[in-house]
Every structure is written in structure tokens, then in C-alpha cells.
Amino acid sequence: LVMQADNIGFDPPNPDAGDAVRLIATVLNNGDGDAQDVLVQFVDATGGGQTPIGAKQLIDSIPAGSSAMVQVVYDTGDESRGPRIGERRIKVLVDPHATVTESDETDNTASRILRVGQAAQPNLTIPEANVGFTPPRPDEGDQVTVQVTVRNAGDADAEQVVVQFVDATDKDAPIPIGTNQLIDLIPAGGSATAQVVYDTTDRAGDRTVKITVDPNNLISEADETDNAVQAKLAVEPAPRPNLTIQSDNVGFEPATPNPGDQVIIRATILNTGSADAKEVAVQFVEGGVNGAPIGTPQVIDVIPAGSSALAQVSYDTAGRTEDQRIQVVVDPNNFIPETKETDNSASKTLKLTTTPIANLVVDADNIGFQPAEPQAGEEVTVRVAVLNDGEVDAEQVVVQFLDATDRPETPIGEPQTIERIPAGGSATAQIVYDTTGKAGERKIKVVADPSNFIPERSESDNDDRKTLEIAAGPTANLVMQQRNVLFSPQAPTEGERVLVSAVVLNDGARDATDVTVQFLDVTTPDATPIGQPQVLPLVPAGGSSVAQVSYDTTGKAGNRKIQVVADPAHFIPESNE
């Protein structure tokens, strides 16, 4: 049996990596006897190896002086270390186990070089510049479109290309962004795009977005090391509220109650953040952390950014004889996202007292006026009886009277001081109120101990107000009538000076003094004063007075309209303006 290199053939003769090649060997029998059951083994002997190619082939018989042919298929792409590229040494062994008796055993093996070319392959790559974000500078909570252009730098098309998007900010816990995207085809030398939507809710700060093409390496490529890229996305923190409560903003009414009193607890909640806070729950708690709730949580509809709101609850001190620690917790369940969650609670001690103290009370029923129905201009004496329903006397009690009709409130005279108001008793303070120019309803307010110098059981009943009705009283009423405006001469020629006289009537019940009278030429829309305003020292009640001015008619030919106005600035109070 003889195996020669020339009798080893390849089909195709010049394959590319990945091709299946038929290896064909012609075995000669140069002996003078038939050879039966001849085994033939094909081997890949590249690099000194001895890797069998397929199973041993069996030739039933090779007659003396004849030959037989065997073949196997060699896969040039099936190797764990990569495709079989370059020169491959193919060896053929005839009768490898020497089971056939031969005249010469040294010519049973031969080898031949198979040259395997580089197959056309895709090469998928993502340059960093091919990653884009829309919007490029998002605010937290925005939906960001992440788009990538995948290039195929290889010389073969790539089909069914998978693209994976991942938030890799925390490299130990990457978060998928949407589902894997599939590109049907990326031609050789071409490119294609894929995109997903990235929800940036709770993702403020610098985010690392990693994009991988063919993440499972299902596509054979010329280079597998350039399939991934990372890009940075800066997410601006979204405007958020910041709810805060401070112990100084927690108050009690009364401030120092007796055991058994009902106490109103008030808390001012601040929002120092940059967004409004809505549906803000406020829980009052007795005894601090893990204490008993005081009533149900109070809900504030909205606290605008940079503003505040008040929550309050009623607290029954019955059965409590010692000071109580009161805690206020804002947004106790952290339902509202905030820039800071550590300033949502504060506590304050409610001091209970058994020490007798005073309690000053001002009630509207105890405020009186003399006269009760004054006319404007009269002086009214305002009196108040201040009660002390506390257990001890109150001394040096300051009482402030105010006109609270408009804002700001206006003090009426100086604060009055009551030397002493006995426990269970009362004392009176009074002031004189000038009603000049104050016709109509006036709200008179009285405050006892306005600076809270006197310790009291309750500070909420120290002021009250009462309405004083002030009648208008007698007033002047200046009247101008057309027939009371006279000209001399009555039919002047252009250029003459005309004396214009006007009779000013006062049909009111009070004299009018220092009455200004203005003469105007109103022939054109732009009224022109005629001379200086005239001043009448007195227009008596029920009487009249005459004002005159000289009118130059030069350049004023034709009909002229003259208007006369008494008290143009309304300085004089009148019954009819």
C-alpha cells in the first residue's frame, strides 16, 4: 500500500476560512496481492499536531496493481481557537495500525499543504462620537432618547444585529435601558442606527450609558474587542421641594396650660426647596419618637416653593401633670421627594403649670363709645373694661387702642396703663378718638398687654374689635351752573379782552372756605387754563361768591367753549362732588 502527496487532493483547492473542504486521497496497491479491509486516517498535522479529521475510512478491497479512493470533509471554520486560516498540513495515514501485511511499510503516509484564506467577515464597531442623547442636557425625570450609529467596518454584511443599552453608572449593578434592539442588516462598510428611551426619574447626576453590539458574540467578526462603548450623560436634578420644621416654629395656645386644658398646637411648615409641595401630611406626636399620635395627620393642600403653611391640632392635657414633649413630623411616610429628608421633624416641650397666673381678656361687648352715634368731626371717648379671669392680679397692664379700618392699623393716641387688675376683677382704660374726615364704619381695636410682658394662661383673648358708626355731619356743596357764567362784553370782536365771571353757589349746610376756581378754554380737546386759579376766601352755606378772570381773545375768532370748575382738586368735603 502506497500513499503519495500528489494523490492527496482538495475541493475547493483554495478555500476561505469557514468553507467545508473535501479531502480526497487515492491509495495505491503496488504489491502482487490484493489488500483487504484497508483503513485510512486523515489528520490535521499543522504545527506538529495530530488531530483526526473525521472517522477512519474503510476500503473493502484494493486489488494488486490497482488503487482506491477515499474522502472526508474538513471544516475550516470549526475550531475553538478560531478559524483554520493559513497553511494547514493535511496528512493521510494508510493502514495506521499495520494490520495489512505488506512488502514495504515505509510508504504508507504522505502529507500536503492546504492553504486556507481569510474569509470575508463583518466588523461591528461603535465610535464614542456615534452616541447621542436627546435632549442632550436633560432634567431629572425627562425621557431621553439614546441613539447610536453602529458601523460595519468589515468586508461582509452583518445580519440580525442585536444592540444592548445599559445604565452602567454602578458597574456592580448595571440596569438595562429598555429591551435589546435588533438591526436587520448592516452592509459591509455601512452603518445603521438603534435607539431606546431612557427614563431619568431618580437618575440625577452623571450617568454612564454603555452600549454593546452583538453582546452574545453570535456574529463572527474580524475583531470582537470594539463592540462596546460608554458615554456620559449629565442629568440635572429636577426642582424639588424641601419641607422643614423647626422647634421655634411650633407653638402652644395657651403657652403654659393647666392640666386638663385643651391646647392648640400650631406648626409652621417651611418649603425651602425650588418646587411646590402638594398634599403635605403633618403628624403631631405625644412623647417624641414612637410616641402616641395626637389626632389624625393634618393635610396641607399645597406649600409653594419658598413659602410656608400652618398646621394645627387640638391636644387634651387631661390626666397629664408633667411637661409633655411634642414632636411634629412632616411627610412622615416620605411620599414627597425632597432635596433633603433629614429636617422633617422637630420637637418642643409643652410646659404644664399648676402655678396661679393672670389671664387678661378683651371682649367686644366691653368696648364702648361716647357719644355712641357721633358725627364726623366730633371727638369720641373710647372705653374698654379689661377682665382678669386668672388666679393672680395683673399689674402695669398696657392697653393700646387702634383704628383697624385700614392696613396698616393706626394707633389712637398713646398706650394707656392700668395700674392693677385684680384676679377675677376688671379695670377700665379710655382714649379720645378724633373722627374728623372719618365718616362711615370704623373698626376700633383694643389690645391688652400688646408686648406680652405679663405671663398669662392664654394669649389668644387679649384683643378684640368693635365697629363705630360715624355719621357724615353737615358739609358744604359747591354748585356751578351754566347760567351763572357771564361774559363782558357779551359779543366781543377778536382781540378784545373779555371779563369772565362765575357765580359759585354753596347749597350745603356748612361754609366753604378757600375755594379754588379754575377757568378753562375747552374749545379743543386740549383744555387750556385761562389765567391762574382764583381763590374765594368764603362761600357761605346757602350763599354764593363770584370769581372773575380776564380772557384774551386774540387769535380766537369763532365760538369758544369756556368751562369753570370749583374745587378741582376736591380739597373741600362735599355732600355731592
pLDDT at residue number 260: 83
User: What are the E-state strand segments in 298-403?
Assistant: 298-303, 308-316, 324-330, 345-350, 360-361, 367-370, 379-388, 394-403
Confidence band, pLDDT 50/70/90 cuts, at residue 456: confident
Residue 255 has pLDDT above 90, yes or no: no
Q: What percent of the chain has pLDDT over 90?
A: 82
Q: What is the DSSP string of 137-197?
A: SPBTT-EEEEEEEEEE-SSS-EEEEEEEEEE-SSTTS-EE-SSPEEEEEE-TT-EEEEEEE
* Cell output for 209: 450609558
Confidence band, pLDDT 50/70/90 cuts, at residue 289: low
pLDDT at residue number 86: 87
Cβ–Cβ under 8 Å, residues 108 and 209: no
- CA 47/CA 91 separation, integer angstroms: 12
Residue 288 has pLDDT above 70, yes or no: no
Task: Using DSSP, state whether 484 is helix, strand or coil.
Answer: helix
C-beta neighbour count of 422 within 10 angstroms: 13
What's the mean pLDDT in 25-50?
94
Confidence band, pLDDT 50/70/90 cuts, at residue 65: very high
What's the mean pLDDT in 310-333?
91
- CA 40/CA 57 separation, integer angstroms: 5
Cβ–Cβ under 8 Å, residues 20 and 53: no
pLDDT at residue number 475: 85
Whether the upstream peptide bond of residue 15 has omega within 30° of 0, thus cis, is: no
pLDDT at residue number 290: 75
- CA 77/CA 247 separation, integer angstroms: 77
| One-letter amino acid for residue 97 of the chain | H
Q: Which residue has the higher pLDDT, 78 or 127?
A: 127
Place of cell 468553507: 19
Residue in 3, 169, 184, 175 with CA at minimum distance from that of residue 94: 3
- CA 387/CA 382 separation, integer angstroms: 16
Cβ–Cβ under 8 Å, residues 410 and 402: yes
C-beta neighbour count of 429 within 10 angstroms: 21
What's the mean pLDDT in 26-46?
95
pLDDT at residue number 221: 87
C-beta neighbour count of 144 within 10 angstroms: 22
- CA 43/CA 92 separation, integer angstroms: 6
Confidence band, pLDDT 50/70/90 cuts, at residue 76: confident
Give pLDDT tens digits for 166-193.
999 999 999 999 999 999 999 999 999 9
What's the mean pLDDT in 289-294?
84
pLDDT at residue number 531: 93
Compute the C-alpha angle 169/170/175, nearest 5°: 80
What's the mean pLDDT in 459-468?
93
Q: Which residue has the higher pLDDT, 418 or 78?
A: 418
- CA 388/CA 3 separation, integer angstroms: 132
Under 8 Å CB-to-CB from 170, ≥6 apart: which residues?
A: none
Confidence band, pLDDT 50/70/90 cuts, at residue 78: low
Residue 82 has pLDDT above 60, yes or no: no
- CA 498/CA 166 separation, integer angstroms: 97
Q: Domains in the chain and their CATH numbers?
A: 5-116 (2.60.40.10), 124-235 (2.60.40.10), 243-350 (2.60.40.10), 360-470 (2.60.40.10), 478-566 (2.60.40.10)
What residues are paired with 369 via a beta bridge?
382
- CA 384/CA 395 separation, integer angstroms: 17
Compute the half-sphere exposure of residue 207: CA atoms within 13 Å on the CB side of its CA.
29
* Cell output for 3: 500513499
Give pLDDT tens digits for 332-373.
999 999 989 999 999 999 988 777 889 999 999 999 999 999
Place of cell 483503513: 39
Confidence band, pLDDT 50/70/90 cuts, at residue 79: low
- CA 7/CA 111 separation, integer angstroms: 10
Residue 80 has pLDDT above 60, yes or no: no
